[in-house]
């Protein structure tokens, strides 16, 4: 498996990473019921074939995806795998989801993710979506503080547009950006890639197969009840 450096002075990551959105199971933006046994097996097989990083998030299954990842990597040497997760999407007891990147929310998110993943430090911690109600000085600044405290190694952003991305980068260098990018969704190529190249920000696109549409085997009969697609 080929590897590439993540951004400026970042780690060497396999060119293919493993996303875990689907393994979270049923939730507001879920992919329907999933077998945890199959999910754990898929994670371990991917590691055996050279994948060295996993991307997850608390909102995937409302914590369940992180728990499954934690079980799958429990016996894997910690320095052989790079774990990326996110913060800022929170939910209540009714399952209602909202964006919240206030420092105290981020602080709670990181502690819960560490607990679910059963690790001592998160390799890459990312804002999942921008929060229009919280200043980036507060939201991005909190990730900087977590890095300084040693709770996370690298910090990045997901779903950010150029203006706010640059603003964050001026506060503290952004290690990586995670935007949607596929043969169908190509806006990132013109709007974000040149800026990331200029600033030395790594790009780790999500949904490169357009959530299954580009696999060549996608049809409605394969969608479980509750699958957000």
For the annotated catalytic residues, the residue numbers are: 60
Alpha-carbon torsion 74, 76, 77, 78, what sign? negative
Close Cβ partners of 184 (under 8 Å, ≥ 6 residues apart): 210, 213, 214
Q: Which two tokens stand for residue 173?
A: 């260098």
Considering only CA atoms, which of 227, 168, 219, 205 is closest in space to residue 15? Answer: 205
φ, ψ for residue 215 (rounded to 5)? -80, -20
Judge contact between 14 and 51, C-beta under 8 A: yes
Contact (Cβ atoms closer than 8 angstroms) between residue 177 and residue 156? yes
Using CA atoms, how far apart are residues 127 and 46, in angstroms rounded to an integer?
A: 25
Whether 26 contacts 223, CB under 8 Å? no
Give the separation between CA 75 and CA 216, rounded to whole angstroms. 35
18, β-bridge pairs = 54
Phi, psi (rounded to 5 degrees) for 94:
-90, 0
């Amino acid at each position: 498996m080929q590897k590439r450096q993540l951004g400026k002075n970042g780690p060497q990551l396999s060119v293919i990473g493993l996303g875990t959105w689907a393994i979270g199971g049923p939730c507001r933006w879920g992919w329907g019921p999933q077998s945890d046994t199959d999910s754990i097996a898929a994670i371990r097989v991917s590691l055996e074939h050279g994948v060295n990083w996993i991307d997850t998030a608390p909102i995937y299954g409302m914590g369940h995806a992180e728990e499954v990842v934690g079980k799958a990597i429990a016996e894997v040497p910690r320095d052989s795998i790079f774990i990326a997760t996110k913060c800022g999407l929170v939910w209540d007891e009714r399952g209602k989801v909202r964006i919240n990147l206030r420092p105290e929310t981020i602080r709670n998110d990181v502690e819960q993710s560490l607990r679910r993943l059963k690790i001592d430090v998160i390799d890459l911690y990312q804002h999942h979506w921008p929060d229009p109600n919280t200043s980036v000085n507060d939201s991005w600044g909190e990730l900087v503080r977590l890095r300084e405290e040693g709770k996370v190694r690298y910090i990045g952003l997901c779903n950010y547009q150029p203006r706010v991305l640059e603003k964050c980068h001026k506060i503290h260098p952004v290690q990586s950006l995670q935007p949607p990018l596929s043969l169908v969704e190509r806006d990132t190529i013109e709007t974000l890639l040149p800026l990331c190249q200029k600033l030395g920000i790594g790009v780790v696109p999500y949904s490169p197969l357009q959530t299954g549409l580009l696999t060549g085997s996608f049809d409605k009969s394969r969608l479980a009840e509750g699958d957000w697609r």
